[in-house]
Amino acid sequence: MAPSPAPLLTVEMFSPNNGTLFRVEHGAETPVVEMELIEVNALPIPKNAPQLKRDPFSLLFRGLGDFGYQQGSYRLRHEKLGVLEIFLVPIGRDEKGTFLEAIFN
C-alpha cells in the first residue's frame, strides 16, 4: 500500500496556531528542541500567476535554545496539526534563539 500524500499546507491551517510550540523530531539521542511559530503571513499573489494550488504564505519560527539550526527539512510535531515536514531557512538570531522561515507558493 502506497503512503498517503502529505496534506496541502495552507495559511488557514497555521493562523489559529500562531504563538504555539512545535517539537522538532530529530532522533532519540539528541535533546528535545522546540520552535515557536511567531508569524503567519499571507503573501501577495503575483500578477499573471498560473493557477495556484493554494494562496502563497510564509511562516516565521523561533527555534528556542542554542541548537545548531541549519537550512533543510525539519520534521515538526504539533498538538493540533500532527507531524509536518517543513523546509526551513535560518534568517537571524536573538537572545532567545534562531529565526527560521518557510515560504509556500
Q: What percent of the chain has pLDDT over 70?
A: 91
Domain assignment present for residue 1? The answer is no
Tell me what the mean pLDDT of segment 61-79 comes to.
Answer: 92
> How many domains are contained in the chain?
1
Compute, in degrees rounded to 10, the torsion defined by CA atoms 28, 37, 10, 48.
-120
Domain assignment present for residue 33? The answer is yes
Please check the confidence at residue 3 and state whether its pLDDT lies above 70: no
pLDDT tens digits, one per residue of 19-38: 999 999 876 666 789 999 99
Domain boundaries, position 36? 11-104
Domain assignment present for residue 4? The answer is no
Position of cell 502506497?
A: 2
Domain assignment present for residue 24? The answer is yes
Distance, CA of 75 to CA of 11 (rounded, Å):
18
